[in-house]
Structure 1
C-alpha cells in the first residue's frame, strides 16, 4: 500500500501541480466528514484536479470506495490508514449568519429582493467565456463591503466583466455616482443596458476584451474597480493592469475574487508577489469564501469524465472564492496599458483542463 507521501508524489506527477503530504492528509480529513466529491473540494480548499486525482488514487489503493449512489467513503483499510497517521475529521466552524463575510446585511434585505426580482430573466452562464455567476446574497455582500469601505457612495465604479450583474445591484443601491461595465459577452452588454434604461440607473455597458488596452476615456477615471478574473497568472496580471489603469490615483480600491479550486497556494504566492512588486498597491483584505457561485448548467459536460465520482451533480454551492481588496498607495501613478496577448482561461489548475497524464 502506498503511503501518504507516495500518494502526493503520484498526484503531482499526474496533475503537474505541486502536491504535499499535508494536502493528501487534508483531503483524508475531509473524507471523514463528508461523502460527496464536491463537498470534499469545498472543505479541503485545494485545487479541483488535486482532489480528483487524490480521490482516484485512494480508490485504486483500496483506501476509498466509490459507492453506487455516487458517494465516496473510507474502506476499512482507509480507516486504519487515518488512524495510523493520526488524521482527524475536518472541523468547520463557519458563521451560519454571515457565511464568513463578517457583514450584517439586514439593511440590504430589500435590495436583495429587488435585485432578484429585476434579474429573473438574466442570461444563463455559457462556457465560451468561462462564466458562472454568484448568488444574490454574494452580489449584495459585495455592494455592502464596498459601501462600508467608502469605495462606493458618490464614487465612480468600473466593473470588468459582469455576468454577476454587480453593476445593476450597485445602480439599484443608489450609492454610486456612475457605473461603467466593460464586458465581452454581447448578451450581457445588451441585458445590462436594457435594464439600466428601464430602471433609470446610472449604469452603462460597453464591449471590451481584457487583452485590449483600456479605452482612453476610462483611464484614471474611476475611484473603484471590481472584477471576477480568470485565474491563469497571465490573465490575473492583465486584468489587474486594466483595473488599476482605470483608477484615479492614490487611495483608490480594487475588489476581486480568487478561488482555491482553480488556484493553488503556489499560484496565490506568485500572484501576491506580482501585486506587491509590480504595482503600487497594498492588500487590505482577504476574506475566505466570500463569493459563493450558483452551480452552472454546463459544469459536468465541461470537466474531466475519467472518474465517475466527478460526474455526480453537486448538492451545494461548492465553488467559492476569497474576496481580495487592494488599495493604491503613495507613488501610484498608473500602470502599463499596452495590449497584451495571453491565455485567459486554461492552465493545469483549471477545471476544464485535462491532467497531464491523461493527455499523453
Structure 2
C-alpha cells in the first residue's frame, strides 16, 4: 500500500494546501476514532479541505466505506492498512467540566443565566459576513480570561466585530468602564445599542469595516481589544493591526481566535512572524480549542465540498478555535493607514466555496 508521504502529496495536489505525512496520520487516527465527518475535523485539527479530500481519497482507494447516513468507516482493507502503520484511534483526555479551557465557571452561573436571558432574541448568523457565534460558555470564559489577566476590570475595551455579543457579557459583568463595538453588520450594531440602552450598559456600538482607518478619537485609546477575525493572511494582518493601533501603551492586550480548520500551521507560522516582526507584539497565551461555536444554519449550503459524508448535519459543536493573547511592547505598532482592500474570507484553506466554483 502507499506510504503516508505519497498520500500527503496527493492531498496537496487536490487542495493546494501543504500536507505532511503527520497530517495524514492525524486524520487517519481521527477517522479511526469516530465515523462522523465534523468530529473528525475536530479531532484531527487539520484544515477542512485537507480532511475532506483525504477522506474522499480513502474512499476511492477502497479503504473506507460511506454509509447512507454519511458515516465513514474503515473496511477490512482499511483496518489492515491502519494496523500496518500502527495507527490507533485518537484519544481525548480533555476535562469535560471546563472543556479544556482551564476556567471554572461555577462562580459565574448568574452571569451565564443573565446573558442567555438578555440575548434570547439575538440576530441570526448570516453568510454575508461569514458569521457564526460562540456558545454562552465560551463568551463568559472570554470575560473570565480577560479579567484574570488584568485586562478587563476598570479598563476600556474595544470589540472589533461582535456577532458573539462579547460586549453585552462584558457590560453585564460590570467590570469594564467603557466598551466600544465596531461592527460591519447594521443588525448587530442596532441590537447591541438597544440592549445597552435597556440595561444601562456602558456600551457604544457603531458601524465599521476594519479595512477602513480607525476613527481618530480611538487610535491609542483602549486598554484591551478582542476580535474574531477572518482567516486569510490579509484579513488577519489588517484586523489585528487595527486592534493594535487602538491600544494606548506598552502592556496592553489583544485577544483573538484562530482555527486549524481554516488556517494551517503554515499560515499560523506566517501570521506569527507578522505579529513578532511587523507589529512587535508578544504572544503570551495560545489556549487550544478555547472557542466553541454554535452550528450555523447555512453551513451545508456554504461549504466547498458536496461529498455525501460532508453534507451531513453536525452532531456536535465541531468548529473550534484557539484563543490567542498578545501584549504590546514599547515599540509595538499597528496599522493606521487609510482604507486597505483585502480578501476577507476565501483562500485555499477556507471552509466556504469560491463563488466562481459554485
So what's the TM-score if we normalise by structure 2?
0.97
CA distance in 2, matches of 1:259, 1:88: 25
Q: State the match for 1:186 in structure 2.
A: 186
Q: State the match for 1:79 in structure 2.
A: 79
Q: Deviations over 1:157-203 (max 9, x none)?
A: 00000000000000000000000000000000000000000000000
Q: State the match for 1:295 in structure 2.
A: 295
Q: State the match for 1:46 in structure 2.
A: 46
Question: Match of 2:326, SS?
Answer: strand
Q: State the match for 1:164 in structure 2.
A: 164
Q: Deviations over 1:235-285 (max 9, x none)?
A: 000001110111001010000000010000000000000000001210000
Question: Match of 1:290, SS?
Answer: strand
Question: Match of 1:322, SS?
Answer: strand
Q: State the match for 1:21 in structure 2.
A: 21
CA distance in 2, matches of 1:53, 1:188: 36
Query: For the Cα contact (< 8 Å) 2:242–2:334, is it kept in 1?
Result: no
Q: State the match for 1:59 in structure 2.
A: 59
Question: Match of 2:33, SS?
Answer: coil
Query: For the Cα contact (< 8 Å) 1:2–1:61, is it kept in 2?
Result: no
Structure 1: tracts of 5 or more residues without a match: none
Give the superposition deviation at 1:119. 0.2
Give the superposition deviation at 1:100. 1.1
Question: Match of 2:310, SS?
Answer: helix
Query: For the Cα contact (< 8 Å) 1:256–1:324, is it kept in 2?
Result: yes
Within 5 Å, which residues of 2 pair with 1:51-130?
A: 51-130=51-130
Higher mean C-alpha displacement, 79-88 vs 330-339: 330-339
Query: For the Cα contact (< 8 Å) 1:304–1:310, is it kept in 2?
Result: no
Q: State the match for 2:325 in structure 1.
A: 325
Higher mean C-alpha displacement, 145-154 vs 323-332: 323-332
CA distance in 2, matches of 1:359, 1:11: 19
Q: Deviations over 1:277-317 (max 9, x none)?
A: 00121000000000000000000011134311000000000
Within 5 Å, which residues of 2 pair with 1:188-227?
A: 188-227=188-227
Q: State the match for 1:5 in structure 2.
A: 5
So what's the TM-score if we normalise by structure 1?
0.97
Q: State the match for 1:279 in structure 2.
A: 279
Q: State the match for 1:310 in structure 2.
A: 310
CA distance in 2, matches of 1:273, 1:234: 13
Q: How many residues get paired?
A: 358
Query: For the Cα contact (< 8 Å) 2:69–2:312, is it kept in 1?
Result: no
CA distance in 1, matches of 2:223, 2:267: 28
Q: State the match for 2:242 in structure 1.
A: 242
Higher mean C-alpha displacement, 290-299 vs 29-38: 29-38
Distance 1:270 1:147, change over 3 A: same
Q: State the match for 1:255 in structure 2.
A: 255
Runs of 4+ in 1 over 4 A off after TM superposition: none
Query: For the Cα contact (< 8 Å) 2:157–2:224, is it kept in 1?
Result: yes
